[in-house]
Structures are given as C-alpha cells and as structure tokens.
Amino acid sequence: MDCARTSPSQPRIQQRERLRDENKRLHQPSCRMNDTEYQLLARAAATCHMSIAGFLARSALDAAHDLGRTAADIAGERREMLHELFALRRHLGQLGNNLNQVSKALNSGADASQAEAVLATVQRAAKRVDAFTQHHLDNRTAG
C-alpha cells in the first residue's frame, strides 16, 4: 500500500500539532529501502494512522530511548504481555458466557439472582484491562 497515493475518498491522516520553535524538527535524515521494506513501512504507518515520515521519526526515537534494553528484556516483556492478554481473553470469554446465561434467563422471565455478581465481575475485568493498558502505555512513554 502506497500512502503517498491515497484516493480522495479515504480520510486524510490527521497532522500532529505543530511544534514550537524550540522543539521544531530541523533535521531531515534519509534512508534507502527496497520495495518490500518500503511497502511494509507504508502499511505500518497507515495502520497507525500516521504519515511515513512521522512513523519513521516516532519509531526511531522510541528505539533510541530504549538502547539500554536487551533483547532478553524485550522478549520477557512480550512474553508477560502475551500471557496477560491470553488470560484476559479467557476471562472475558467466560464472562461473556455468564452474561449470555443471565440474558437468557431474564428474557425468558426467570429470576437471574446472579446478574449483579456477573455485572460486578465484568466491571472488575474492565478495570483489569484498563490497568493493563495504562501500565503498558506508562512504560512506553517513560523511556
């Protein structure tokens, strides 16, 4: 996908806020890529709703801030993140089943005494997802 040739029907990429003079980016490094590398970069930038230049700058700066991290650190963090995501997915699937059972009972006119407990559990799961997300966002911006 070539981001430079977007059709008019596609939404424009929202530009980032302009930097003040003291933070203005004055340098414009360049690099060369083959077609496969460029297409991969263009797809990644489009997925993030960023320009290719913005995506390159953000990615390069993120990598530069994390020079002290080893490959083992990154792999361990990814492993922990995947473990937590799969646990959350399993838990949310179970909650979905419980919620469906409560809905079925209520729709058939039966008493669903466990409805409040299921909803409380859904709220706790939502807080767990929020906490997980915030933790990883905080760690990402701390570098």
For 111, phi then psi, to 5°, come to -80, 135
Contact 13, 50 (CB under 8 A): yes
Retrieve residue 129's tokens. Answer: 């997802």
The model's pLDDT over 95-125, given as tens digits with 9 standing for 90+, comes to 889 889 889 988 998 888 888 888 899 888 8
Residues 6+ apart with CB under 8 A from 122: 95, 99
Give the per-residue pLDDT at 60: 84
**pLDDT at 128 exceeding the cut of 90:** no
Q: What is the average pLDDT score of the chain?
A: 79
More confident residue, 10 or 69: 69
